[in-house]
Amino acid sequence: MNEHDAAPLEPAFPDAPAWFAGLRDRICTAFEKLEDALSGTNADQPAGRFTRKAWEREGGGGGTMAVMKGRVFEKVGVNVSTVWGTFSEKFRAEIPGAAEDGRFWAAGISLVAHMHSPLVPAVHMNTRHIATPGRTWFGGGADLNPPIPDQRDTDDFHAALKACCERHACADHEKFRAWADDYFYIKHRERARGVGGIFYDYIAADETSLAFTRDVGETFLSVYPELVARHMDRPWDAEQRKAQLAYRGLYAEFNLVYDRGTRFGLMTGGNPEAVLMSLPPVAEWP
Contact set with a copy of itself (CB under 8 A):
75, 187-189, 245, 249, 252-253, 256-257, 266, 272, 275-276, 279-286
DSSP 144-182: EE-SS--HHHHHHHHHHHHHHHHT-TT--HHHHHHHHHH
Q: Which is nearer to a copy of itself, 152 or 188 (CB)?
A: 188
Q: Which is nearer to a copy of itself, 163 or 252 (CB)?
A: 252
Taking the complex as a whole, how short is the minimal distance between the CB of residue 224 and a copy of itself, in angstroms?
22
- DSSP structure class, residue 9: P
Q: Is 119 in contact with 240 (CB distance < 8 Å)?
A: yes
Q: Which helix (H) or strand (E) holds 75?
A: strand 73-86
Q: Which is nearer to a copy of itself, 170 or 245 (CB)?
A: 245
Q: Is 188 assigned a catalytic role?
A: no
Burial class (CB in 10 A: 0-12, 13-18, 19+), 226: middle
Q: Is 4 in contact with 32 (CB distance < 8 Å)?
A: no
115 phi/psi in degrees, rounded to 5: -100, 150
DSSP 83-131: EEEE--HHHHTTSTT-SS--EEEEEEEEEEEEESSTTSPEEEEEEEEEE
Q: Which is nearer to a copy of itself, 29 or 88 (CB)?
A: 88
Taking the complex as a whole, how short is the minimal distance between the CB of residue 252 and a copy of itself, in angstroms?
6
Catalytic residue among 4, 114, 116, 124: 124
Taking the complex as a whole, how short is the minimal distance between the CB of residue 20 and a copy of itself, in angstroms?
23
Taking the complex as a whole, how short is the minimal distance between the CB of residue 91 and a copy of itself, in angstroms?
13
Active centre residues (catalytic):
124
